[in-house]
A = this chain, B = another copy of it.
Amino acid sequence: MLDRRARGRAKDNMSTLQPDSGVTLWRKVADSIEREIAQGGYPAGEKLPGEMELAESHRVNRHTVRRALASLAERGLVRAERGSGTYVETARIAYPLRSRTRFSEIVGAGGHEPRGQLLSASREEATRELARELDLPIGAPLIRIDGLRLADRAPICVGSTWLSAERFPDAEELYRRFGSMTKVLAQHGIRDYRRASTRITAAIADAGDAARLDLGIGRPVLIVEGLDVDGKGRPLLALRTRFAAERVQFVVETE
């Protein structure tokens, strides 16, 4: 009895594993991988080593690794993509939609580290739809700011924000300096603004989304169209944001 186990494992994690503990091999492998994920060994959203590689490093058969990964996938910790690899599934961040929605607060409250990144800024003319939302004439000058937001180094959403170029001519400069739309508005004496409306839909990630959100093409994105207004209800800015659907979960509290 027990002779089979004495064969393999030379470098493995022999340390804590008793020869016969009544725990299946695939379970030990699954626990090992889960621990590495929890300790940050594999970045969230990133690809795990291939099944063959995991089999070698854990000194087990590939099928045993597959069973371990299957149990992890069943629990939502990883996601396997045929032909591509197996990826760490970041737990979806609960993203409440309220009148006051601040990305950094939401992400930070979930125990994640928020980060923002300015992608680009440009001047545009108001389309009919943006003009209607912002209560401006069609073709009015706008400043468009594109930014990427991350939580724990995993991209969460990429979005565009439009403001009136006449009212906030220095928006780009301010955003570049402070990295926060809240502070851009504060520089203009606006300390109280709220989300007036939020509309949600979904789409399939195109190449641009896939690149910026680190998604596979064909995976879903959540599209949010929002309008922020000041204390008197006057429109301040409009935004279109695309979220990696597999990383967030919107929470709408109805009253």
Q: Which residues of A contact B (CB under 8 A)?
A: 1-2, 21-24, 26-28, 30, 70-71, 74
Contact = CB atoms under 8 A, between A and B. Distances in A.
Instruction: Give how many copies assemble into the complex.
Output: 2
A22 B24 CA distance: 5
A2 B75 CA distance: 13
15 contacts: A1-B70, A2-B70, A2-B74, A21-B27, A22-B23, A22-B24, A22-B26, A22-B27, A22-B28, A22-B30, A22-B71, A23-B23, A23-B24, A23-B27, A24-B24
Contacts of A30: 22
A30 B26 CA distance: 21
A8 B23 CA distance: 20
Query: What 8 pairs between A and B have smallest CB-CB spacing?
Result: A22-B27, A22-B24, A23-B23, A22-B23, A22-B26, A1-B70, A23-B27, A22-B30
A1 B71 CA distance: 11
